[in-house]
Amino acid sequence: MKLLTVLFLFASYQALAGLTPVSFEKNGEIITEEAVRFSGGYGYNLDANHVLKLVTLDWPPYIDENLCNKGWLYQFAVSSLLEKGYGVQISFYPWARAVREAELGRADILFPEYFIEDDVISDNFLDKTRNDLLALSHAIPGGDLSFVALKGNQIPFNGDLKSVKDLPIGVVRSYKNTKELDVMIDNKEIDTIVANNEYQLIHLLLSNRVSLIVADLEVLKASVYKSELSISGKRQILESLVALEPKLEYKPLYFSVSKSTLHWQKVLQDLNDEIELMQQSGKFDEFIEGMKQQCYGLEKAA
């Protein structure tokens, strides 16, 4: 899939349009699919024989309803499915609800997802694992999960989670972190305060309600960039955040396909085919950076 050149052609249009078009190349032809707004989301190619329901969240810089192109992952996901002939309905929810929609079979694809171990129990069925209900795609580029603190605070983290077990830590509701950390949280070995999203996490940290938060620093930065704060206010927050070393874990991203979906194995294979094409081309990083720069690159440079 030759996404790079095609999508960059539409940068200025996407920035101004109320609805986000998605473009892709098929059989040597550039095709642009316009979005249709419906209650709860956006639709593309809705006359297709097989229309897939996707659920996601606001998680910039990967995906966000308010980004000019809704993020590189939105563009990649929708383009990949349109190229395979599917129709797409995509809705933005808080993460816990998005997971529920997929686990209950009311949505076909949940994304972006972290890797899920086979022993992780479903959030909605205590007698089933997440992997009983959903199937993970091949990996796509993700980011580093870290403990993030306020710059200048002396945090005794040495790579061993036990070194910070007595400190209050902020986490996002229904997110999967590292396996070791999640076990400690479940066993109440670590005191946590739960937020609904990364922006709330930042405020837990700024208000000193927690000493650390668990996050991808790039997601925190993007959440600040898209906020309504002044440029100086954004800079003040960004300059106060520091990711502690060592990082907790590099976290690639995945699509989760509901096993309740009609012909779910084919849907999964079609997604995997598009992921493999982008990986083999070596253009994933270039594509991602270009899409990010479209929406808030100029603000970063201001």
pLDDT in tens, 139-186: 999 999 999 999 999 999 999 999 999 999 999 998 989 999 999 999
Query: What domains can be seen in the chain, in order of their start residue?
Result: 3-141+253-301 (3.40.190.10), 142-249 (3.40.190.10)
The average pLDDT across 89-113 equals: 97
Report the 3 state secondary structure along 38-63. ECCEEEECCCCCCEEEEEECCECCCE
Residue 3 has pLDDT above 60, yes or no: no
For residue range 179-229, what is the model confidence (pLDDT) as tens digits? 999 999 999 999 999 999 999 999 999 999 999 999 999 999 989 988 899
Span 244-288, pLDDT tens digits = 999 999 999 999 999 999 999 999 999 999 999 999 999 899 889
Residue range 64-90, pLDDT digits in tens: 998 889 999 999 999 999 999 999 999
Quick one: 90 exposed, middle or buried, by C-beta within 10 A (0-12, 13-18, 19+)?
buried
CA–CA distance, 242 with 23 (Å, rounded to integer): 37
Q: Is the pTM of this model over 0.75?
A: yes
Q: What is the DSSP string of 109-160?
A: EEEEE----TTPBPSS-TTSBHHHHEEE---EEEEEEEEEEETT------S-
The rounded distance, in Å, linking the Cα atoms of 169 and 167 is 6
d(CA 70, CA 61): 9
Interval 220-244 mean pLDDT = 93
Reported as a pLDDT band with limits 50, 70 and 90, residue 33 is very high
